[in-house]
Homo-oligomer: A and B are copies of this chain.
Amino acid sequence: MTGFASTDWIAVAWGEHPRAFAMTTDGQIMAEATLDSGAAPENRLEPLIGPWQAQGLAGPVVIAGMAMPALARPVPCTPLEAPVANEAGHHLVPGLRQSRPAPGLTRGAETCIAGFLDREPQFDGVVCLPGDGPGDTTLWAQLSAGEVVSFQSFLTVRLISQLLPPEDEPGWDDAAFLAAVDDARSHPERLAARLAQVEAESQLQLIGPPAARARYTGLLIGAELAAARPYWLGQQVAILAASPAADPYRHALAALAVPLRLISATEMTLAGLTRAHRLLRGQP
């Protein structure tokens, strides 16, 4: 590819599935690149954006999800401020931090939320960003008057990924999933025992991989919903999802009659990065 203009720039969504976009100033995507999960060396951008730079794209690189914890801004606050340059000259979008009620740190969620609020500045409610892979957390955030009021993260997806049976017999048992969600949500103290029970029933061949997969997932999501109750009970929830990882969340919340919307996290993160690029150029 050739023909990059001097005002072009690169948007990077760092994280479990690092993704980069070669962008024009007016927001058009010229090219896109992704790294496989696990293939991303710690904070090394070359495999992702090196080819574009070799072809002459010399504009700024704006990155979500890679900022230093020391740069994080305390909530409540707006999700986005101008990015901060690191030693390599890349511009990092600062994360959000929280001290109370529980310490927390965002790594990219703030940019996705900023993109969402750009599109829906009047939104008053909760966003849920399901974990996008084994290294990722699920984040719930309360938004009001254009600010992130509070947030809470869960290691659910990481725990699920460690328990799932191999994919040699694919499939999913929907009824088993919903029953497990309900069980763990009502009795979260039984979680570790119920997980071992799924293993025992698998070994005794009382259930197959589709039911085991659905029950492991349902138990862990049910336990999360028990702990995240203030974030969904009586709330309108927007799920900002990057992948099918969101499906179980959507399904479990729908069964609880929570008013839901499903929105592309990739699109919102790109909108947030575009906003960060404008701030970098001194534009509102």
Contact = CB atoms under 8 A, between A and B. Distances in A.
A171 B45 CA distance: 33
Contact of A227 (B103, B189, B201): B189
A189 B229 CA distance: 10
B200 A154 contact: no
A204 interface: yes
B97 A199 contact: no
A75 to B, nearest CB: 13
A28 interface: no
Contact of A69 (B192, B203, B224): B203
A159 interface: yes
A103 B137 contact: no
Interface in A188-215: 188-197, 199-201, 203-206
A274 interface: no
Most chain B CB neighbours (cut-off 10 Å) among A153, A158, A191: A191
B69 A205 contact: yes
Q: Specify the main secondary structure of chain A where it touches its partner.
A: helix
A225 B45 CA distance: 45
Contacts of A159: 159, 162, 192, 195
Given A137-B196, A137-B199, A201-B103, A189 B223 contact: yes
29 contacts: A69-B204, A97-B204, A102-B193, A102-B197, A103-B200, A103-B201, A103-B204, A137-B196, A152-B196, A153-B196, A153-B197, A153-B200, A154-B196, A155-B195, A155-B199, A156-B192, A158-B162, A158-B163, A159-B162, A159-B195, A188-B191, A189-B189, A189-B223, A189-B227, A192-B220, A192-B223, A192-B224, A192-B227, A193-B224
Given A69-B205, A154-B195, A189-B226, 13 more contacts: A72-B204, A102-B200, A103-B204, A103-B206, A104-B197, A104-B200, A153-B193, A153-B197, A155-B196, A158-B163, A162-B162, A188-B191, A192-B220
